[in-house]
Amino acid sequence: MSAVGLHGVALTRGERTVLSGVEAEIAAGEFIGILGPNGSGKTTLLHAILGLIKPSAGQIRVFDRPPGVAGGTIGYLPQRRSALADLTMRGRDYIGGAVRGERWGLPRLTAADRADIDDLLALVEGKDLAERPLSQMSGGELQRLLLAKALLGRPKLLLLDEPLMSLDLRFQAGVVALVKKVQERLRLTVLFTAHELNPLLGVMDRVLYLAAGHAAIGSVDEVMTGDVLTRLYRTPIEVLRVGGRIVVVSAHGEMDGHHHHDHA
């Protein structure tokens, strides 16, 4: 079954066309890494899948339904999270506030709600975060809490927008391993946007690479080639494999840092 279908999709922000002609069929249960430089449309694409942005051309289907109709079948971890580090709210209350998010203030949680929050915190290896204020959590711990919140309602599709941003390599590896474990446990489809390819190499089924308004999808070996990236960027690109890492090199100097590839 298809989890997400992108059929000739074009997306615009204001008067700028961010993406055009995107074709991709993502099967239920796949782990897709969405890669590309800043401004390539990664966040815009997630917003379109959520139904927050309408395509200017083409069609998007989520479990064979229009975006926005899928409702509780999608869990979402947004990119902008810096303000959370200043909150004194406890982890349990932060998640609890989203149980019935259509209401103002903290909802009155039932025993079943509290048990569900405890189960989610255990699933993301964050039981000790329940009583701790967000202001006392590390970046990696905040990501665990946000992942638990995104899993409320047990979605079938999980959209993660730059969850590795501002984390050091140790925490990045921990977040990636945790998302993979959760995906396998709950049989989720995961769309994981990132600037860096290498942390995802061991967990992705395929990569959806966005650049210069266009997209390519396939296995890492199919997409991460000089020919494919040269076509996307419309400038000569060379792809090297060094010590188990992938290094992307532009013939015209240093590229926009977006994969931690030691660009030259």
More confident residue, 213 or 255: 213
Collapse the DSSP code of 263 into the 3-class scheme (helix H, G, I; strand E, B; otherwise coil) and give the result: coil
Q: Computed from CA positions of residues 126, 167, 223, 261, in that sequence, does the dihedral angle turn out positive or negative?
A: negative
Residue 248 φ then ψ, to 5°: -105, 125
* Range from 42-46, 84-88, 158-162, 194-198 carrying the lowest mean pLDDT: 84-88
pLDDT, mean of residues 114-126: 94
Grade residue 87 by pLDDT with cuts at 50, 70 and 90: confident
Q: What CATH number matches the domain at 2-250, 3.30.565.10, 3.40.50.80, 3.40.50.300, 3.40.50.11540?
A: 3.40.50.300
Q: Is the confidence at residue 128, as pLDDT, over 60?
A: yes
Using alpha carbons, select from 163, 183, 182 the residue that is nearest to residue 173: 163
pLDDT of residue 107: 64
Above pLDDT 70, what percent of the chain?
A: 89
Share of the chain above pLDDT 90, in %: 66
249 pLDDT higher than 50 = yes
Rounded Cα distance between 86 and 72, Å, is 29
Distance of CA 183 to the CA centre of its chain: 13
Listed by start position, the domains of the chain span: 2-250
**pLDDT value of position 264:** 29
Q: Which residue has the higher pLDDT, 99 or 189?
A: 189
**Can you tell me whether residue 1 is helix, strand or coil?**
coil
Residue 260 has pLDDT above 70, yes or no: no
Q: What is the pTM of this model?
A: 0.90
